[in-house]
Amino acid sequence: MALKHILIAVPTMAGLMKAKTATTLVMLMRQLTRAGSPVALTAREFDLLWFLASNPRRVFSRSHLMDRVWGHSPALDTGTVTVHIRRLREKLELDPARPTHLQTVWGVGYRFDP
């Protein structure tokens, strides 16, 4: 059975938020919700987030992400991945400057940590 729904646990001082205030990613509706409110994502942002969230804690290089999410290998520039990650952090993370979910693994790539 294919993965259709991902709960992204958002830590708080009191522990994990309850499901009604958590962040969720729903494949069938291609929707990210945060505290019950939809978060607008472009199609590519959703695809990138879904791919990373479907492979939690696994590190992917920018080239691998270009191949798997965009469907082609980069010629030289993988900057588009960096830009999409930055935009996703702005929409997903409580503090985009200190991401807890979309993490950079220096010299390697990116990983998603629920």
Beta strands at 23-26 and 5-8: parallel, antiparallel or unpaired: antiparallel
Give the count of domains, the chain: 1
Dist CA 78 CA 96 (whole Å): 20
Give, in order, the Cα–Cα distances in Å from 63 to each of 19, 24, 71: 34, 27, 11
**Residue ranges making up the domain that contains 92:** 5-112
Per-residue pLDDT reduced to its tens digit, 66-106: 999 998 876 666 689 999 999 999 998 889 999 999 999 99
Model pLDDT for residues 21-68, shown as the tens digit of each residue: 467 766 667 778 877 788 899 999 989 998 998 899 999 999 999 999
CATH number of the domain where residue 57 is located: 1.10.10.10
Q: Of 82, 94, 108, which is closest to residue 23 (Cα–Cα)? A: 94
List phi, psi (to 5°) of 77. -100, 125
Higher pLDDT pick, 13 / 45 = 45
pTM of the model: 0.79
